[in-house]
Amino acid sequence: MQPRALIEQITAAGRLKDTMRHSFTAGGRQESVAEHSWRLALMALLLSEDYPALDMQKLLSMCLLHDMGEAFTGDIPAFEKTSVHAADERRAVDGWLDTLPEGLRKTFAGLFDEMETLGSPEARLWKALDKLEALIQHNEADIATWLPLEYELQMTYGSSECAFDDGIKDLRDLVREDSRKKIKEKNDVQKED
């Protein structure tokens, strides 16, 4: 890739640093899409020894690229996202892909297609980890940042995406247990007041 083209691509991706998600960090500020993607990639990397048969470069690429469309459309929380939003985001991704050199365009387009269809073991693991990272982030945030509907979402969100693998299912159960504990602690404090 030519140096100017590289700078242009990094600048486009840099928008994700300023694109805020619905989630809050443990420190109390809104999380950016870039932060979510980075931590998702770290989760995949930390689990790499547990999934030696998977193409780790493909999985990491999915983790880093999956929300690239949000650099152009902004983030819409999963509980508000419709098929129209998803189509808008895919059009934005396709427009971005058109700016890439042919080899990268073809490779990245294939990754986005796999992610859409969950057409590979890497895509299924990426999707499960994507859901889990969001749930873990909510558990780390102050419960005062949760919307009322998130109490139920912390129990149900990502369950079907995590069901394909016993280890990931166990991780989902642990995250759910952490959510229950957080909710119980809040309720106990309210009872004391």
| pLDDT at residue 191, rounded to an integer | 78
The span from the CA of 187 to the CA of 185, in Å, is 5
Structural domain span for residue 38 = 3-192
Token code pair at residue 33: 């899409």
pLDDT (0 to 100) of residue 22: 92
Within 8 A by CB and 6+ apart from 33, the residues are: 16, 19, 20, 21, 67, 70, 71, 75
Element (H, E) at 162: helix 159-162
Q: Are 105 and 97 in contact (CB under 8 A)?
A: yes
The answer on pLDDT for 164 being more than 90 is yes
Sign of CA dihedral 93, 95, 97, 100: negative
Q: How far is CA 133 from the centre of its chain?
A: 6
Q: Which two tokens stand for residue 127?
A: 């999707």
- Residue 186 — very low, low, confident or very high, per pLDDT cuts 50/70/90? confident
The full DSSP string for 112-125 is HHHHHHT-SHHHHH
Q: What is the pLDDT of residue 109?
A: 97
Contact 130, 122 (CB under 8 A): no
Distances (CA, A) of 67 to 2, 13, 76, 126: 24, 10, 11, 12
pTM of the model: 0.95
Predicted confidence at residue 61, as pLDDT, reads 98
Mean pLDDT of the chain: 96
CATH number of the CATH domain containing 51: 1.10.3210.10
Q: Is the pLDDT of residue 50 over 80?
A: yes
Q: Look at residue 189 and tell me whether its pLDDT is greater than 90.
A: no
Backbone angles phi and psi of 21, in degrees to 5: -95, 170
pLDDT of residue 187: 86
Number of domains in the chain: 1
**pLDDT for the residue 71:** 96
pLDDT single digits (tens) 94-141: 999 999 999 999 999 999 999 999 999 999 999 999 999 999 999 999
Q: What is the structure's pLDDT at 190?
A: 78
pLDDT in tens, 71-92: 999 999 999 999 999 999 999 9
